């Protein structure tokens, strides 16, 4: 068997996603295992190694068909050594992931941040395809990001590059953020932030259809807000407009900094689609230099949950 | 003569700065010629070529001792081909600078933006020395910038990366900017912007010592504002504080984006020194994630007018 594949691993707090990916970036086989976070996550690497071995057996491949393993992990990572300073959701602290996985699998391993591998996956096979300069912003429970410049991931000196969620957009009087600052983008445009903004102001808008949802469920979600805006609910439109304003402003300032050809929005919030993308584009245009605006477009991520495993495989293919 | 040098050229609207720079980045010889902008600048390249030839003769070097020429030019440039789309101050429009200078000198030429070569000069031999991830912000009549990531200049797809002066910091009601937008950083922290802010509010502060300067000179400058702040003039301190707030906020958001180890402030405004740097550091800290703040410092540029010629020589040395 001459063709060589890479293994992409996307390690999350609940599940580990794995895939065998060919050199063209096509997924040959994908599967998941649960993330065993008990005992500070000490069985995770053994579980991954065992699962890879089993799967290769099942499909009749051996480690000789594999070029290497790329793995994306959450938390603060020293990229060069694949050392995890801390990954709170996993239970790891000062954990030598690269070395441990290499010993367990006897294959070469390369480690990166989970947001970065998702960005690189979109660049390789998704919405950033054929773009060498891409900004990916992930709008989920939190707001993360990854940045590709001249075809490669930007890490910065402590692996903190692309932390777009912590750009300050409300310099005074903003909500407190988990990062220790206040007024971060994440506090106002994450799913959590959108829900909070809407809840905080809902009592002033008894006419809104969100009021009915709140009465029924004793809560509202970011999705409720976008659905109501799509139904022309005035209050919901105001909330979405403000979310779009913050995203558009930050994207414009990012584009002024790195001049990408494409911006990819991913994560649950991006699934709102045009009801969000249209006003984001409006504010992006308003706050961008014309020459930058004309050569940058904003697209919704295409790979969904596969972005990480594909990006991790790219990492193995290009860095090993 | 075995040692090889590079020629660095920094092309400005008034003068062309030139230097012969050795491989260690030391200037062996530097000189200037006037920029002849008459007739759409059609004699500039011939003047540069002639001046280089003469100087090499004078110091007993030949073109064989020269590896190549790096040149920084203002305006919009296609980096790969060294083609100038437009350089308003020079008079060039759709001008093939690289080809023209190569034909005139019979040496290989590499072209970049003037703000970028200044940034690379500071990275190589100035305040960014030994830092591979550096942001340089030039606070002069306008506000420019350059960004070094993993030791190389970031251009973006249209050479517009690093346009920090056009980050929007006053989203509503800001001053009009030359770029066509309003509320850009440049409108409030350039020398021009500082002067305008102070002048706009001076009538409300008859007690300020700036009032006396205005009465005497019928004008005030950014330097007057910094001098007065250093003398504890209350109004001047408020103006400087606001300037520092905008710079600190933008630098914090830039650091969150690219996670550099050093930020270099250059240009005339940076000469204000600690009266500006101290409050900039305060706001930079306030708006930065702690882990980023702890590993990033802000320094004042060291090379002054030599940054461009040194950076241009680096360009020739590494890209030819």
Give pLDDT tens digits for B112-160. Answer: 998 899 989 999 999 998 899 999 999 998 898 999 999 999 999 988 8
On the question of pLDDT at A7 being above 90, the answer is yes
Q: Is B135 left (phi over 0), alpha (psi -120 to 50) or beta?
A: beta
**What confidence tier does B197 reach under pLDDT thresholds 50, 70, 90?**
very high
State pLDDT tens for residues B243-291. 999 999 999 999 999 999 999 999 999 999 999 999 999 999 999 999 8
**What confidence tier does A303 reach under pLDDT thresholds 50, 70, 90?**
very high
Q: What is the mean pLDDT of chain B?
A: 94
Note whether B291 contacts A171, CB cutoff 8 Å: no
A85 CB-near residues (< 8 Å, 6+ apart):
A75, A76, A77, A78, A93, A94
On the question of pLDDT at B3 being above 80, the answer is no
Select from B119, B176, B177, B258 the residue whose CB has the most chain A CBs within 10 Å, as the one to mutate to test that interface: B258
Note whether B257 contacts A163, CB cutoff 8 Å: yes
Nearest to A253 among B162, B253, B290 (CB): B253
Residues 137-176 (A) with a CB less than 8 A from some CB of B = 147, 149-150, 152, 154-164, 166-168, 171
On the question of pLDDT at A3 being above 80, the answer is no
Is A195 at the interface with chain B, CB within 8 A? no
* Range of lowest pLDDT (A90-94, A207-211, B49-53, B106-110): A90-94
Is A253 at the interface with chain B, CB within 8 A? yes
Note whether A163 contacts B260, CB cutoff 8 Å: no
Select from B153, B289, B319 the residue whose CB has the most chain A CBs within 10 Å, as the one to mutate to test that interface: B289
Note whether B259 contacts A163, CB cutoff 8 Å: yes
State pLDDT tens for residues A120-175. 999 999 999 889 999 999 999 889 899 999 999 999 998 889 999 999 999 999 99
State pLDDT tens for residues A74-108. 877 888 889 998 887 788 989 999 999 999 999 99
Q: Is the CB of residue A119 less than 8 Å from the CB of residue A126?
A: no
pLDDT for the residue A1: 44
A144 CB-near residues (< 8 Å, 6+ apart):
A114, A115, A137, A138, A162, A163, A164, A165, A267
Would you call B317 helix, strand, or coil by DSSP? Answer: helix
Which residues in chain A have Cβ-Cβ distances shorter than 8 Å to B252?
A: 168
Among residues A143, A95, A152, the alpha carbon closest in space to that of A120 is found at A152
Note whether B163 contacts A292, CB cutoff 8 Å: yes
pLDDT for the residue A85: 85
Cβ neighbours around A152 below 10 Å, total: 15
Is B26 at the interface with chain A, CB within 8 A? no
Which residues in chain A have Cβ-Cβ distances shorter than 8 Å to B178?
A: none
Among residues B203, B292, B206, the alpha carbon closest in space to that of B253 is found at B292
What is the 3-state composition of chain B as percent helix, strand, coil, each rounded to the nearest 5?
Answer: 45, 25, 30
pLDDT for the residue B22: 96
**CA of B166 vs chain A CAs: smallest distance (Å):** 7
Which residues in chain B have Cβ-Cβ distances shorter than 8 Å to A253?
A: 167-168, 253
ipTM summary value? 0.90
Would you call B152 helix, strand, or coil by DSSP? Answer: strand
Cβ neighbours around B228 below 10 Å, total: 25
């Amino acid at each position: 068997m001459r063709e060589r594949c890479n293994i992409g691993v996307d390690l999350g707090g609940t599940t580990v996603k794995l895939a065998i990916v060919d050199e063209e970036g096509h997924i040959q086989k994908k599967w998941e295992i649960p993330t065993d976070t008990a005992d500070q996550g000490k069985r995770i690497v053994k579980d991954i190694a065992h699962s890879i071995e089993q799967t290769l057996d099942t499909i009749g491949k051996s480690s000789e068909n594999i070029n290497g393993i790329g793995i994306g992990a959450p938390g603060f990572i020293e990229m060069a050594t694949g050392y995890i300073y801390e990954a709170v959701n996993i239970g790891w602290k000062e954990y030598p992931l690269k070395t441990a996985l290499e010993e367990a699998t006897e294959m070469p391993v390369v480690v990166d941040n989970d947001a970065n591998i998702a960005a690189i996956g979109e660049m390789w096979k998704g919405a950033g395809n054929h773009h060498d300069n891409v900004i990916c912003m992930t709008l989920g429970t939190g707001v993360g990001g990854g940045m590709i410049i001249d075809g490669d991931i930007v890490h910065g000196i402590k692996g903190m590059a692309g932390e777009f969620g912590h750009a300050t957009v409300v310099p005074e009087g903003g909500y407190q953020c988990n990062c220790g600052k206040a007024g971060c983008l994440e506090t106002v445009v994450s799913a959590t932030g959108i829900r909070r903004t809407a809840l905080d102001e809902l009592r002033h808008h008894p006419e809104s259809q969100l009021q009915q949802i709140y009465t029924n469920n004793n809560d509202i979600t970011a999705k409720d807000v976008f659905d109501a805006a799509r139904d022309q609910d005035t209050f919901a439109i105001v909330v979405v407009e403000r979310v779009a304003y913050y995203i558009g402003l930050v994207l414009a300032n990012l584009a002024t900094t790195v001049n990408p050809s494409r911006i990819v929005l991913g994560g649950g919030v991006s699934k709102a689609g045009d009801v969000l993308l249209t006003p984001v584009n409006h504010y992006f245009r308003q706050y961008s230099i014309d020459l930058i605006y004309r050569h940058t477009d904003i697209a919704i991520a295409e790979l969904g949950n596969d972005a990480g495993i594909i990006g991790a495989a790219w990492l193995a293919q290009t860095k090993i």
